[in-house]
Each structure stands twice: as C-alpha cells, then as structure tokens.
Amino acid sequence: MNDTQLILASASPRRRELLSLTGLPFTVDAPHVDEHCTLPPREAVREISRRKALASAKMHPGKVILAADTLVSVNETALGKPRDEADAFRMLQSLSGRWHQVYTGVSVVDAQGQLRSEVAVTDVHFEVMSEEAIRRYIATGEPMDKAGAYAVQGVAGLWIDDLRGSHTNVIGLPMALTRCMLEGCGLLSAAPRSC
C-alpha cells in the first residue's frame, strides 16, 4: 500500500500536472460519485468537489484528500463537457465575443477528517470566433473532454484576449488557493497569513 499522505481525488491529467508543481508526493485515486447537480455553478462545483473529497476520505482514512470540480458558465448557465461535436460547436459559439466565468470548487479533507471547501472564479473573454474557426478548433479534438469545450493552455488560447483571476483555475486547479488549503493541513510550510 502506498504511504503518501496526500490523495488527489481526480483523474484529470491537468490537475495531476498542476499538483505536481507543489513538489509533494501524492497518489491519484478518483472515486466514482454522482456529478449531477442542479445548483447554480458556484454552488455546484463546491458540492461536487465535496462529494469527491468525502468519498475518497472514506477509502483513505487518515490521509489528506484534495478534490476539485470545474465548470464554465455563461450568464449562470453551466457548460459541462460537450456530448459531441455539435454540442461543442454550440458551446464555443456561446463563448465567442463575450465574457464568461470559470468556477472551480476545491475541497480538502485533513488527516483528522475535517472538510474545508472553497470556490475560485476567473473571468475569461473570448474574441469573436468565426464558424469556420470553431469547426477547425473542434477538428483538433481538444474541446471534447474539456468543460466549456476549450483548454486555455491549448489552441483555444488563440482567441482568449483577457483573463481576470487565476489562470490555473481555468486549467482546473487554482494553485494559490490549493497551496493555501494544503498549508492548512500541514503539508506545505504555512505562510503567516490566512487564506
């Protein structure tokens, strides 16, 4: 059995890459939870990240659990991962030429079983994308497993002309918030401030 103290309750390769930046050893073990939620996006990501963290904590008592959930939202309407290319086209068209929000709920269960959940929000603006540009982007395959049908760190970055908030939040794990929450669990050197 692996004796790492930290469990990442997410199968996302992007979250795995971001968490590795902390230098902390961790194990990935994503629980299967019901991700259906009818709450508004900010509350939904908090709730789903809580579900993931608590489910993982049951499987790994005494460990620190980190879970996250990300949603893209336009006018408080959540955009999940596209079902197919037509759905991706619809999503990208709704983002074209306008601001939207990216919400990530981050939940941590400490080694004593105490749960803490926070939400990060980032405002993102897309330049106008032509229908042809959207089709070319979809043809890359990049949008198909991403919330909101895009990856800020990928080809979609060609159309993102403004971003206010955490860049890593848009990728799927707001690192400043995550660092702060892990400090609260004693896994990183705590800074003399509150998060």
Q: What is the DSSP letter of 7?
A: E
144 contact partners, CB below 8 Å, separation of at least 6: 81, 82, 85, 88, 138
79 strand-pairing partners: 72
The one catalytic residue among 3, 34, 69, 162: 69
C-alpha 108/C-alpha 67 separation (Å) is 6
| C-alpha span between 39 and 69 (Å, rounded) | 14
Which stretches of 130-175 are assigned E, i.e. beta strand? 160-164
Beta carbons of 28 and 35 less than 8 angstroms apart: no
The pair of three-digit structure tokens given for residue 137, joined into one six-digit string = 């982007």
Nearest to 121 by CA among 108, 107, 105: 105
- Per the annotation, the verdict on 145 as an active-site residue is no
**Which positions are catalytic?**
69
